[in-house]
Amino acid sequence: MMDFRIDTFITVCRYMNFTKAAEQLNITQPAVTQHIHYLEDFYGTKLIVHEGKRMSLTEAGVVLYQAAVTMKHDEIYLKESIIDLEKRKRRLYFGATLTIGEFVIAEQLKKYLDMYPDIEVRMIVDNTRELLYKLRLGEIDFAIVEGNFAKKEYDCMLYSQERYIPVCSTDYPFQKEPVQLNDLLSERVIVREKGSGTREILEKYLEARNLGIDNFRHVVEISGMNAIKSLVESGCGITFLYEAVVKEELEKGSLKEINLKDFNMMHDFEFIWNKGSAFSGNYLDICKLLKNED
């Protein structure tokens, strides 16, 4: 059982405010301060520093926080696993970003359910940032993400590599057949909202070429992937998506890939969990099963 003062430390780190942490834990603020001082005495170093009204973690504080989050999650997982053993149940609680959750993992998840028909599954679809937050809180056991994350703070395994391509409707009226990326800048581009992994990969590619989304003639932002595909199918513009997202549309011919000489992108989808978890072996096995590996 984890020391209750570690739980206080995690809560303080979450809010970076002693008063809010005290309210969340239903204890007094002096008690919160006492718990933090105890931990600093125990580890022999400062964990939190104050600069005016601003609070931040020291380097030692960051190390302890990362370890504490992992321990907290492992304790929850262990407790639930013991209960599950008694009920002879399995469970799979995880998160996935939109592209993965809606267009990539369904077939693999179906095979997993066929193997374990009594399993309890809970998949949360959200952006990478929110999934990392839920992972730290122990609300999910692992996540499969397309967005960027601090790899030194998590353990991870490559889930898959996916092609990222420009597409348009089959009869899209280009004035001149595009050959290079610059040839598309005169078109209307339809993209996901800011912060989405699908948009982020395009922004980074453009940035490396001293370009940005705003260099396209017109920009339309749509949060729904299916809405983007529908608009592009109708000839309202072009877009950039993972090939897996438009697989059906490419096969039936309502969309086509725009073949460019200077655009050939692959992007990693990563399977991640809290660093140093005692259950790393479990997560590796689950990842291999979801990837259909032996």
The pLDDT tens digits of the residues spanning 8-62 come to 888 888 888 888 888 888 888 888 889 988 888 888 899 998 887 788 899 888 8
Strand partners, 255: 169
* Continuous segment of H or E residues that includes residue 145: strand 142-145
Using CA atoms, how far apart are residues 139 and 273, in angstroms rounded to an integer? 12
pLDDT in tens, 141-195: 899 998 788 888 889 999 999 999 999 999 999 988 999 999 999 999 999 988 7
Q: Band of the pLDDT at 242, cuts 50, 70, 90?
A: very high
The pLDDT of residue 12 is 87
The pLDDT of residue 165 is 97
The burial of 39, by beta-carbon neighbours within 10 Å (0-12 exposed, 13-18 middle, 19 or more buried), is given as buried
The pLDDT of residue 94 is 94
Domains of the chain listed by start with CATH number? 4-68 (1.10.10.10), 74-160+269-290 (3.40.190.10), 161-265 (3.40.190.290)
User: Whole-model pTM?
Assistant: 0.68
The pLDDT of residue 294 is 52
The pLDDT of residue 138 is 79
Percent with pLDDT over 70 in the chain: 94
pLDDT at 271 over 70: yes
The pLDDT of residue 268 is 92
Considering 7-16, 94-103, 129-138, 270-279, the range whose residues carry the highest mean pLDDT is: 94-103
Indicate the average pLDDT of the chain.
87
Which region among 48-52, 64-68, 74-78, 267-271 has the lowest average model confidence (pLDDT)?
74-78
The pLDDT of residue 255 is 97
Using CA atoms, how far apart are residues 104 and 268, in angstroms rounded to an integer? 13
Q: Report the SS3 class of residue 37.
A: helix
The pLDDT of residue 10 is 86
What's the token pair of residue 40? 């600093």
The residues near 142 (Cβ < 8 Å, ≥ 6 apart) are: 94, 95, 135, 271, 272, 273, 283, 286, 287
pLDDT at 91 over 50: yes
Average pLDDT over residues 63-67: 83
For residues 218, 219, 225 and 229, what is the CA-based torsion angle, rounded to 10 degrees?
A: 10
Give the residue, 206 or 61, on which the prediction is more confident.
Answer: 206
Which region among 92-96, 123-127, 235-239, 273-277 has the lowest average model confidence (pLDDT)?
273-277
The pLDDT of residue 87 is 45
Phi, psi of 16 (to 5 degrees): 50, 45
Give the residue, 244 or 78, on which the prediction is more confident.
Answer: 244
**How big is the chain by its Cα radius of gyration, in Å?**
23
Contact status, residue 100 vs residue 269, Cβ threshold 8 Å: yes
The pLDDT of residue 2 is 62
Average pLDDT over residues 234-253: 95
The pLDDT of residue 82 is 64
Contact status, residue 142 vs residue 273, Cβ threshold 8 Å: yes
pLDDT in tens, 246-267: 999 999 999 999 999 999 999 9
Using CA atoms, how far apart are residues 26 and 20, in angstroms rounded to an integer? 10
The pLDDT of residue 230 is 96
Average pLDDT over residues 88-113: 85
How would DSSP label each residue in 229-248?
A: HHHHHTTS-BEEEETTTTHH
